[in-house]
Structure 1
């Protein structure tokens, strides 16, 4: 066998991945009730929901399936805002209340007035968003 045909020994090494520290984040699962509000774009199309549950220290963005890629992309700024609240040690439902009061730094979408509600479970909210629960 010539050196040209010999595999690089680096391809035979075991790789060990280590998860690094990232920004603080709320959990993304809960089995209790979730408070939520709807978020719409400039045309009034509901893109998704921001939800939270204090018991499990969980909060996240749930995109609406029928809104397509705009819903997935539109949630990025809302997720970043949630991370800011988590970094300050804010409870998820307090973060939601503050976001409802002031989300002026998010230009591409807005809280739908009067959309604040509570779903009995995250699965129920996912159903509202048009997605099967994958938990």
Structure 2
């Protein structure tokens, strides 16, 4: 009962982008139908990294609608698409009549992924 538990990661599972990047990232602002920002999708090709940062201030609505953007990232990685190409697809396929969409003209660069996480959820 006093021994440390050892966890070994099992091989397999779906491919995923890394959630870490200390290099510059590109990001998109995502809003709901009413125009309220629900989060940000970010990407960096050099680190093969991308992620979804939900705005906790958006509550359950932001969390639920934001899951679509995380799924889009998972699907893009499974198809072998570079992270920033996934962002380009999201811009191209965005539809403001859906429950959430990319804010037009929102493609921006930030110094790293942590900046995006702080943007989504300032302390």
TM-score of the aligned structures, taking structure 1 as reference length: 0.77
Q: Max radius of gyration: which structure?
A: 1
Question: Matched residue of 1:107: which SS?
Answer: coil
Question: Secondary structure of 1:75's match?
Answer: helix
- 1:26 has 2:28 as partner: no
Which structure 1 segments of 5+ residues have no match?
A: 1-13
> How many pairs were matched up?
118
TM-score by length of 2: 0.84
SS of corresponding position for 1:67: helix
The 4+ residue runs of structure 1 with deviation greater than 6 A are: none
Alignment partner of 1:65 out of 56, 60, 64: 56
* Structure 2: segments with no counterpart, 5+ residues: none
C-alpha distance in 2 between matches for 1:18 and 1:62: 25
Root mean square deviation, CA, Å: 2.3
